[in-house]
Chain A
Amino acid sequence: NAGVTQTPKFRVLKTGQSMTLLCAQDMNHEYMYWYRQDPGMGLRLIHYSVGEGTTAKGEVPDGYNVSRLKKQNFLLGLESAAPSQTSVYFCASSQPQGSRQFFGPGTRLTVL
């Protein structure tokens, strides 16, 4: 039982490049979330999903897209990376909305 896993752990991009972050969970959770964590800003919700095939915007969705084609996977895409997207990205999952969230180990992204 791996819980929530994230790929990759680290990545460096140049401005304008694109990339996809992968999140996988093996707990059969319905809800999945993407957060970014920046110093002094705390955890901020980017996008979330309440089930397979659904996605919704969080607090800071601009510049990101997501997809949830399979229940266990939640992908976060950056189409044209900007330095402002330098951050640590966390994926999380939960059962009913409002219950405890399980977090992955994070992806540290640097955009030059």
Chain B
Amino acid sequence: EDQVTQSPEALRLQEGESSSLNCSYTVSGLRGLFWYRQDPGKGPEFLFTLYSAGEEKEKERLKATLTKKESFLHITAPKPEDSATYLCAVYNAGNNRKLIWGLGTSLAVNP
């Protein structure tokens, strides 16, 4: 069964304390892995798309990486404004052709 699992469910960091969020997936035909950020009361906001194992993308303090089984979102020296829920989704281009969403990791960065 196609599945996306994110861990941890929640993470609390001190400002400046780097860490990583994990997104592991099992799909029959990966055609893209997406990272989104969602602030409370708002819609998800696109961060990155990764298409093949070994690919990396960066934006400010965030860096996303992809392997054949999982993706990591590395947060370097986070600031309180990085507090949000981070969502991972995988596009399955097999028979179903749908976007499969993880449940997200809720990140809180304390000043």
* Chain A interface residues (CB < 8 Å from chain B): 4, 40-45, 58, 90, 92, 97-106
Contact = CB atoms under 8 A, between A and B. Distances in A.
A103 B44 contact: yes
Interface stretch (B60-68, B72-80, B98-106): B98-106
Interface string B18-53: 000000000000011010100001111110010000
Given A42-B101, A98-B32, A98-B97, A105 B46 contact: no
A42 B99 CA distance: 12
A74 to B, nearest CB: 14
Contact of B93 (A41, A98, A100, A104): A98
Interface residues of B, number: 22
B44 A98 contact: no
B104 A42 contact: yes
A20 to B, nearest CB: 19
Majority DSSP secondary structure for residues of A touching B: loop
13 contacts: A43-B87, A44-B101, A90-B44, A92-B43, A98-B91, A98-B93, A98-B97, A99-B32, A100-B34, A100-B46, A101-B46, A103-B36, A106-B42
Contacts of B41: 106
Nearest to A39: B103
